[in-house]
Chains A and B, each alone.
Chain A
Amino acid sequence: GESVGLHLPTLSVQEGDNSIINCAYSNSASDYFIWYKQESGKGPQFIIDIRSNMDKRQGQRVTVLLNKTVKHLSLQIAATQPGDSAVYFCAEIDYGQNFVFGPGTRLSVLP
């Protein structure tokens, strides 16, 4: 079946450095993708989204890149801060217009 997965389960970065979190997807028909951040004890929080007619979208300190050729999605966080420590999920829309989540990447920000 269709699946969304991440290349790295954990990522440690120095405070102030840039972070890149990757995601592979298998449904070539997916046309909408979202990145979520989940902190301990909380529900997933929307970060940024992108539709398949774009290859890049920027927000505040975050950028999402979409490469449809290789079915790859990435989240870039600029000047990573301690508050960015969390688990990050990518999600894609499936044929039934429901979101399928990947297993997540834990981001740890080192002082």
Chain B
Amino acid sequence: ETGVTQSPTHLIKTRGQQVTLRCSSQSGHNTVSWYQQALGQGPQFIFQYYREEENGRGNFPPRFSGLQFPNYSSELNVNALELDDSALYLCASSQGLPGEKLFFGSGTQLSVL
């Protein structure tokens, strides 16, 4: 176990709704990254937070947003859900500066109907 916990584990939403996914980083880790993993594909980088500031963003639209809190826990928010947003959302934390190895949680499986 990595010590990275995500909630909820599964979620079903309808198109157009909004969703918030939560992540608790491993103790001592100050960087959190979010990834989207479609079925049968590798994780795709959404964004990263380092010390509560966004530190990089992948090719995702602005309706994907995030927060990192002083205790280094994090949220991923997705507005105006689309069918293609159905995927496994993974949170990963790392220690020290960005670019260190990532430790992943088990993910939140989001289904958009």
Give chain A's interface residues, CB within 8 Å of chain B: 4, 32, 34, 36, 41-46, 49, 89, 91, 93, 96-104
In the assembled complex, which residues on chain A have CB atoms less than 8 Å from the CB atom of B55? 96-97
- A31 to B60 Cα, complex, angstroms: 25
Tell whether A97 pairs with B98 under 8 Å between CB atoms, given A44-B43, A103-B42, A104-B42.
yes
With the chains together, A98 CA to B102 CA distance in Å?
Answer: 10
Q: Is the interface of B mostly helix, strand, loop or mixed?
A: loop
A52 to B34, CA, bound (A): 25
SS class of chain A's interface: helix, strand, loop or mixed? strand
Q: State whether A98 touches B48 (Cβ < 8 A).
A: yes
Chain A residues with Cβ below 8 Å from B4 are 43
Q: B33 at the A/B interface (Cβ < 8 Å)? A: yes
Report whether B102 and A46 are in contact in the complex, using a CB–CB cutoff of 8 Å.
Answer: yes
How distant is the Cα of A23 from the Cα of B31 in the complex, in angstroms? Answer: 27
The answer for the CA separation of A49 and B100 in the assembled complex, in Å, is 10
Query: Would A43 and B99 count as touching, CB distance under 8 A?
Result: no
Task: Please name the residue on chain A nearest to B50 by beta carbon.
Answer: A97
Q: Is the CB of A101 within 8 A of B43?
A: yes
Q: Is the CB of A103 within 8 A of B41?
A: yes
